[in-house]
Structure 1
C-alpha cells in the first residue's frame, strides 16, 4: 500500500537538526505532501472496503461497485497530487544538484531498511504510475463479466468512472507543467527585433525545442551568419526561430503560425555546392522549412540540418503534427507493437514517458528511436528502441488492438 510505505519513509526523515535543512527543504516536506493527499483521505478506505468484501465473500464475485464509488467520490486527491507531481520532482532534483548536505542526508534515508532501498523519486512517481494502470485493470473486469449482464454493466460503469479520473489526472499534470513552462519561456525569449508575439496562452504549449545547423542564410536569417546555427521553439500553433544568446536567453529572429509552414525532407545529394559536387559529407541530415507568411507577412526559407537521422525525423514529425492523420482504429492491427521492458522517463517535449509492461503501437522507426502511441491512453511520443521488445504473437497483437478499441469507445478517451 503506497500511503503506508510513505508513512514508514516519513518516519525515517529527521525532524530537524541544527542545519535547518530538512525543516525547510527536505524529503519530509516532499513526502508529507503525498501523505496529506493520499494518506489522510478516503483513499485508504478503498483498501478497507476491498478487505471487507473479501471477508464477506471468500470467493469475491464483484468489486465494480467499490471501484465506481471511490473513483467518483474519494479518489480526487489523485488529481491534486498528479497535478503537482512535476513541482515535487523538480524540487527534489534541485535540492540534489545544489545542496551537498541535503544529498548526504537523502542517501542516509534511502539506505534505511524501511525505505526498501528505493530512491526518493520512486516514491514521488508511484501514485501517477498506479492510477494510470486502473483503466486496464478495470477493463479486465469487463472482459471477465461479459457473460453476466448486470455485472458487465457495473464493470462498464466503473471503467468509465476510473477513466474519467485518469483523464483528469493527466490533464492536470499537463496543464500545470505547460503553464510553468510557458511563463519560463516568456522571460527567456526576446522579441525586440521583431513584431512582438503574445506568448502566454492557455491553449499554447511546447512541442519541441532545440538547436539546428543553418545551412544557408537568406533574407532575415543573414543576421545569424556569425554563427551558423539557430534555435527553434516549436509550439502547437506557432514556430519561433531564435538565436541563442545564453543558456536562458534567446533573441527571436522570426516566427510563423503553424498553418503557414511547409516542411520538406532533403537528401544530402540534392544540395549542390557552388563549384559543383554536393554537400553530403558536411550536411548529413538536411531538411527545409518554409515560412509562407512570417512575422512581416513575407515568405522565408530555412535550410536546416540536424546531427542525426533520428533528430531530423523527430523535427519533421513535430513540424507536421497538425497534418498527420495516423491510421484509424480499423487499420491499427497492421502496425507493429512493442512491450516496454524498462521504464523510460521523457526528457524532451516530444518524448513519451513509459512504464514497464506498457504496450505501444509503433508509428515510425528511425535510427534506434521509435515513435509510437501508448495503448492505454493514446498519448504519442518518441522513446529509445532498446527500452522495448517487439510483440511477435499475432494473437497478442490483435487482442491489444481490441482492448484499445474498447478503452477508446467505452471510456471516450
Structure 2
C-alpha cells in the first residue's frame, strides 16, 4: 500500500461547493474530457477486459434504469452540460451555450452553439434566443382563456370547492378515498405552508378568486336546453370533462404571462447572460405551444357536441407532445430554482427588473417563481382530473377504456419526470466527485458513466504496522467511495482525494469480519480484500470504522455483491 496522509478526510458534501464548480467549469472547457464523458471504457480483469454494466442498478433501489434507445437521459453530453448550468456558477464567463435536457423529436443528438459572453450585448430576438428554434405557437384564440383566473388562483378555487363538497356531503364513503385525500393534501400543502418571500416579490394580499364558469352555466348549453333531460350523474360527468378544458385555459393564460411578460422582457434579458436566460426559462415556450394545441383540440371537441362523450382520445393524442416538453422542463427545474435563488441574492439589476415586472397588473401580484413551477403542477393535475372523469364514466365502456389508457399514459409521464430529476441528481453528484479525485499514479477512470451511481461513502481508518525491531500499529485516515460497479480507496490531500487503490465491484472486492478480541484489534475492524486491484495485484487491508453502526453499514453494502 502507498503511504497515506494523516489528515482526517471529509465527506464530499462538506467540501467547498464554489471551488468544486469552478473546477467543473475548467473541466468542461477542456475538449480532452469530452470523450471520457461519453465512453464507457473496459476495466481489465483476470479473465480479460470487463465492460462496465451500463444498466447496473443498486439492489433494492428505486433508481430508474436507463430506458430505451430514444430516452433523452442517455444523451450524456447534453446532461453534463445541463449540470454545468447549475446556479452556483458565474454563467457570463462560460464560453459555450449548452442546450438543456431536451427530448424533442429529432433532437436526440444535442449540439453546442459557439458564442461569446453576451451579457452586455443587445439581446437577440426572443424566439431565436431560445435554442435557435422557431416559435411553435399556433394561431388560436381560446373562448375561455379570459373568463378563467390565472392558474395559480384557479388551483386555490379548486381546493375551496373540494372543501365545500366535504362540508355538504352527507355520505363520505364516495368522496373520501386514499387517492382523493392524497391529492387534496398535496394541493393544500402549499397554501398552508409559509411561503418564502423573495427580495423581488411584492407583498401578497389575501387572494380573492372569482367563481369559475361551469359547463351548465355556458350560454350555449342553456340555449340548447340540455339540462332538463340529463341526470345528476351525467351533469357531474360533463362538469368534470369541462374542468379539463377550463383548467387548461387557466393554465395557458398563466403560461402566456410567463412567456410574453417575463421571458420576452428585454429589460430582464439585459441583466443576465444568454445562458442564464436559457436556464431560467428552459423550454417553456414549447410547453406553452403544446398547451395551445391541446386546448384547441379540447375546445373543438366541445364545439362538435356540447354533450361530450369522450376526452380520453384527445389526451392520448397529445401524450407524445407532453412527454417531449414536460420531461425536459421538470428535469431542469432543480437548476432553474438554484439559478433564480442565486440571481436574487447576487444580481441587483435582475432583482430591480424582476420587481418591476412582478408589480405590473398583468401578474396579479404573482411572483416569477409561481409561474415557472406551473408545468410541474399541471401535468400532475391532469392525472387527477382524468381520475375524476373515470369514476363518473360508465364501467366497461369504450369511453372508460380510452380514459384508463390516457390516465396511465399521463402517469407514466409523471413518473418519467420524477426519474429524470433523480438521474440528474445522480449525475451531478458524479461530476462533483470526479473533479475532486486525483488518480495520481493510476490511469484516470471517468466516473460519469451511464448507469453508475454512488452507493455509499465515508471516512474510515486504515490499520498499518510499522516495520522495525519493535513493530507498532497505527491508524491512518482514508476515504471509501463505493459505486455500484467500482470501489475507490483514497486519502485526503488538501481539497482533493488522492486515489490509493481501486477495484471492480463486486467482482474483485470482498469484505469479512474479524475476531477482533483474539487478534487484539479495535472492536470495529473488518477485513477488505481486493483480489485484483488497480495496482494489478491482490491487496488486503484492515479497516476500522468509526462506530459499530458504521461498521455494520459498510459490511452490509460491501457484502451485497457476494
Quickly say closer, same or farther: Cα 1:287–1:151, change in 2 above 3 A. farther
Corresponding residue to 1:217 among 463, 468, 492: 463
Instruction: Report deviation, 1:201.
Output: 2.0
Q: Is the 8 A contact 2:258 2:372 kept in 1?
A: no
Matched ranges for 1:40-119 at <5 A? 41-53=289-301, 60-73=308-321, 75-96=323-344, 98-99=346-347, 101-103=349-351, 105-106=353-354
Equivalences, count: 301
Corresponding residue to 2:267 among 16, 21, 39: 16
Q: Which has the larger radius of gyration?
A: 2
User: Hey, what's the Cα distance between the residues in 2 that align with 1:291 and 1:111?
Assistant: 64
2:397 counterpart residue number: 149
User: Hey, what's the Cα distance between the residues in 2 that align with 1:145 and 1:303?
Assistant: 63
Q: Is the 8 A contact 1:15 1:22 kept in 2?
A: no
User: Hey, what's the Cα distance between the residues in 2 that align with 1:23 and 1:290?
Assistant: 50
**1:295 lines up with 2:549 in the alignment:** no
Quickly say closer, same or farther: Cα 1:262–1:183, change in 2 above 3 A. same
**1:36 lines up with 2:285 in the alignment:** yes
Instruction: Report deviation, 1:318.
Output: 6.4
Q: Is the 8 A contact 1:194 1:295 kept in 2?
A: yes
Q: Is the 8 A contact 1:83 1:172 kept in 2?
A: yes
SS of 2:267 mapped into structure 1: coil
Q: Is the 8 A contact 2:463 2:474 kept in 1?
A: no
1:251 counterpart residue number: 498
Instruction: Report deviation, 1:206.
Output: 3.3
Higher-RCO chain (CA-CA 8 Å, sequence separation at least 6): 2
Q: Is the 8 A contact 1:62 1:151 kept in 2?
A: yes
Quickly say closer, same or farther: Cα 1:175–1:49, change in 2 above 3 A. same
User: Hey, what's the Cα distance between the residues in 1 that align with 2:443 and 2:465?
Assistant: 16
Quickly say closer, same or farther: Cα 1:299–1:314, change in 2 above 3 A. closer
Structure with greater proportional strand content? 1
Q: Is the 8 A contact 1:3 1:38 kept in 2?
A: no
Is 47-56 or 185-194 further displaced after alignment? 47-56
Quickly say closer, same or farther: Cα 1:261–1:181, change in 2 above 3 A. same
Quickly say closer, same or farther: Cα 1:275–1:32, change in 2 above 3 A. closer
Quickly say closer, same or farther: Cα 1:226–1:33, change in 2 above 3 A. farther
Instruction: Report deviation, 1:195.
Output: 5.5
Quickly say closer, same or farther: Cα 1:193–1:303, change in 2 above 3 A. farther
SS of 2:448 mapped into structure 1: coil
Quickly say closer, same or farther: Cα 1:312–1:157, change in 2 above 3 A. farther
**1:199 lines up with 2:447 in the alignment:** yes
1:160-189 residue CA offsets vs partner (Å, 9 max, x unmatched): 433443455445545555555544433321
User: Hey, what's the Cα distance between the residues in 1 that align with 2:491 and 2:321?
Assistant: 50
Q: Is the 8 A contact 1:42 1:75 kept in 2?
A: no
TM-score by length of 2: 0.42
User: Hey, what's the Cα distance between the residues in 2 that align with 1:314 and 1:119?
Assistant: 45
Quickly say closer, same or farther: Cα 1:76–1:25, change in 2 above 3 A. closer
Quickly say closer, same or farther: Cα 1:100–1:321, change in 2 above 3 A. farther
Instruction: Report deviation, 1:68.
Output: 0.6
Quickly say closer, same or farther: Cα 1:68–1:315, change in 2 above 3 A. farther
Q: Is the 8 A contact 2:490 2:499 kept in 1?
A: yes
Q: Is the 8 A contact 1:191 1:251 kept in 2?
A: yes
1:259-311 residue CA offsets vs partner (Å, 9 max, x unmatched): 25567899xxx9779999x98xxxxxx685835544343233433237x97x8
User: Hey, what's the Cα distance between the residues in 2 that align with 1:258 and 1:97?
Assistant: 43
Quickly say closer, same or farther: Cα 1:112–1:62, change in 2 above 3 A. same
User: Hey, what's the Cα distance between the residues in 2 that align with 1:90 and 1:3?
Assistant: 25
User: Hey, what's the Cα distance between the residues in 2 that align with 1:56 and 1:125?
Assistant: 33
User: Hey, what's the Cα distance between the residues in 2 that align with 1:231 and 1:125?
Assistant: 39
Q: Is the 8 A contact 2:530 2:539 kept in 1?
A: yes
1:304 counterpart residue number: 545
Instruction: Report deviation, 1:115.
Output: 5.0
User: Hey, what's the Cα distance between the residues in 1 that align with 2:377 and 2:551?
Assistant: 31
SS of 1:217 mapped into structure 2: strand
